[in-house]
């Protein structure tokens, strides 16, 4: 006999928190923004230096930084004519580091970077004898 755990709706993220977290992960889903966050997790960087480091125009970098700042992933500081950016807090640096560790671990063990799974909407087909054996 199998036991099922029940998760009540009060134990799950509320809609607002789920949406905010999804937006954060969406922002991290772009390779350019990931490269920018990599640089900003290492040091505070001026927009012009960040643009040169990743090979984009200052305008393109500024556009991406506005999005990252609106999601509170980065923060800015003005010093004269230059605006310097860095990750907003240690949570962002930690999230980034954990994601990078995960990718590097998968690469080091020879596992594919993308999960090798069946689509979630397809049920696993089990032969009748195997299903009967599991029921016991």
Query: pLDDT band at 112, cuts 50/70/90?
Result: low
Inside any domain, residue 37: yes
% of the chain beyond a pLDDT of 90: 64
CA distance 21 to 13: 10
Query: pLDDT band at 114, cuts 50/70/90?
Result: low
pTM of the full predicted structure? Answer: 0.70
**CATH number of the structural domain spanning residue 45:** 1.10.10.10
Residue 40 predicted with pLDDT over 90: yes
Inside any domain, residue 7: no
> What domain range is 57 assigned to?
15-89
User: What's the pLDDT score for residue 96?
Assistant: 87
Inside any domain, residue 43: yes
Number of domains in the chain: 1
Inside any domain, residue 81: yes
Inside any domain, residue 71: yes
Inside any domain, residue 94: no
Inside any domain, residue 49: yes
Mean pLDDT of 26-52: 95
Inside any domain, residue 127: no
pLDDT, tens digit (0-9, with 9 covering 90-100), for 122-136: 434 444 444 444 444
């Amino acid at each position: 006999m199998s036991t099922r755990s029940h998760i009540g709706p009060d134990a799950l993220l509320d809609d607002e928190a789920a949406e905010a977290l999804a937006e954060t992960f969406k922002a991290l889903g772009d390779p350019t923004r990931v490269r920018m966050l990599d640089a900003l997790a290492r040091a505070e960087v001026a927009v012009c230096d960040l643009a040169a480091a990743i090979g984009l125009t200052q305008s393109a970098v500024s556009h991406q930084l506005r999005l990252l700042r609106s999601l509170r992933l980065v923060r800015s500081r003005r010093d004269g004519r230059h605006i310097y950016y860095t990750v907003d807090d240690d949570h962002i640096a930690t999230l980034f580091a954990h994601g990078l560790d995960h990718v590097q671990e998968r690469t080091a063990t020879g596992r594919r970077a993308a999960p090798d799974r069946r689509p979630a909407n397809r049920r696993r087909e089990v032969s009748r004898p195997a299903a009967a054996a599991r029921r016991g």
